[in-house]
Amino acid sequence: MNSEALRKLQAPLKEKYREQPQTAKITLKAEGNIGTGISCKVDTGRALVEAGLHPATGGNGMLACSGDLLLEALVACAGVTLQAVATAIGISIRNGQVKAEGDLDFRGTLGVSKEASVGFESIRLSFVLDCDATEEQMQSLAKLTERYCVVYQTLTKGVQVQSSYSKLH
């Protein structure tokens, strides 16, 4: 896809969202079923992913770790956003790799130490691209990818999460 095709594809959506802002607000959903043992089966809409304990918390490594899934969501979103931005500003990317790494101290999630935080302490996102972009274009690509990547923005800005718990009757 080139920038003209992308603009043509997105133009009616952008116009609709300008004229009817309420139509741009969409609720994305995820569902899971508590599985046997310590696992949760999540329907992604494309496939079923069974998540379980990471080996550092007693898992056997056979089930997806939710921390890995978070990093995978970041890689997927950043990669798609980068491609869309590159297309929009006329940068041709022949090939590339997106990597996310995150550091965890499992003492926190296991309740071993109150000083150890629960969750990622830091995340590193990196891109290695085969392209002919100038340094200025690379800076624009980075700035715009970070600005428009939903998962990146959610992680860096934080978001309010509301929980509810109820019993089946």
Per-residue pLDDT of 11-36, as tens digits, reads 999 999 989 988 888 877 777 777 77
For residue range 44-64, what is the model confidence (pLDDT) as tens digits? 778 888 999 899 998 888 999
103-116 exposure pattern, b = at least 16 Cβ within 10 A, e = fewer: ebbbebbeeeeeee
Return the pLDDT at 169. Answer: 85
Model pLDDT, residue 137 = 97
Q: Token pair for residue 37? A: 């043992």
Q: Strand 48-52 to strand 39-43: parallel, antiparallel, or no bridges (unpaired)? A: antiparallel
Q: Copy the structure tokens of residue 160.
A: 């309010």
Q: In the chain, which stretches have pLDDT less than 70?
A: none
* Token pair 């069974």 in the structure block, residue: 50
Question: Would you kindly state where each structural domain of the chain is located, as residue ranges?
Answer: 30-64, 65-158
Residue 48 gets the label, from left (phi > 0), alpha (psi -120 to 50) or beta, of beta
Measured CA to CA in angstroms, residue 101 lies from 9, 40, 60, 70 at distances of 33, 23, 21, 10
Does 65-158 carry CATH code 3.30.300.20? yes
Structure confidence at residue 19 (pLDDT): 93
* Nearest residue to 84 (alpha-carbon basis) of 137, 139, 144: 144
